[in-house]
Amino acid sequence: MVKKRHIIKALALVFLTVAAATSMRAQFVEERTFVGPTIGLGIGGGLAYGLNGEYAMTENFGLIAGLGLSGFTEDFGGLGLTGSVPTIDYSLFMGYVGASYHFMPKKKFDPYFSLGIAYFSWDVTYRTSD
């Protein structure tokens, strides 16, 4: 099985490559493709990394797609439990597709609404202290 740190390193390299090759624009312009990395706070307080893309079909409507990776750990050692104290590691992979509507295209500030469908895959590792 591929280790989580190897996936994170590979995604970080992809993000840096895309960020270096993509010019930054705030404007949503028809028939253009926008691709970029994302970073945020994921489920359980872990960092979330992602790669998003959008194709502008018209001045206001676009098609979106993306991938994401997040993870966090729950450690029950501080609860005063005796015997086997569990630690649980969670890894989450997500992919999604959808559509977006941009309210103010071609402006520096571009609020939008998006709706789509996503696929989530969890990997859970359960460890004990003994």
Are residues 46 and 29 in contact, defined by beta-carbon separation less than 8 angstroms?
no
Count of structural domains within the chain: 1
* Structural domain of 107: 4-128
pLDDT higher at 66 or 46: 66
Rounded to 10 degrees, the C-alpha dihedral 39/69/66/17 comes to 60
Read off the pTM.
0.62
Quote the pLDDT of residue 44. Answer: 66
Q: At 36, phi and psi to the nearest 5?
A: -170, 160
The average confidence (pLDDT) of the chain is 81
The pLDDT tens digits for 66-113 are 999 888 888 776 666 666 777 888 888 999 999 999 998 777 788 889
Q: At 10, phi and psi to the nearest 5?
A: -65, -45
